[in-house]
Amino acid sequence: MSLVFMPNSKGFTRVAVVVSKKVEKSAVGRNRIRRRIYEALRKNWELVPGKTDYIFVVYSKEIMRMPFSGVEEILGKLVEESKVCYNKKNG
């Protein structure tokens, strides 16, 4: 999975999850992956800085089968490694 982000001028956070047909052929499977990621984000929303657009791109269907705690861990690492958490004084 990868994370693309950019500050926005909307005043609120927007999130998108992209799952290609190459990852999972069935729409049911792609939607299940999206729902799991959205739920993990909802449960850990305080970790996501505001006023930013986020796009999570999924490259593997293993997310559908892994335990939910594993999904939360992956998302936490992505946000932490991306250095999205910035100093409040600078922006």
Residue 88 lies in a domain: no
**pLDDT surpasses 60 at 89:** no
Q: What is the pLDDT of residues 31-84, one digit of tens each?
A: 999 999 999 989 988 777 778 888 999 999 898 899 999 999 988 888 888 766
In a domain, 86, yes or no: no
Is residue 91 a part of any domain in this protein?
A: no
Overall number of domains in the chain:
1
DSSP 23-49: T-SSHHHHHHHHHHHHHHHHHTGGGS-
Looking at residue 64, which CATH number applies to its domain?
3.30.230.10
pLDDT at residue 56 in the model: 92
Give the model's pLDDT for residue 36: 94
**Higher confidence at residue 23 or residue 51?**
23
Would 87 be classed as within a structural domain? no
Determine phi and psi for 39, rounding to 5 degrees.
-65, -40
Tell me whether residue 39 is in a domain.
yes
Which range marks the domain in which residue 52 is found?
Answer: 2-81
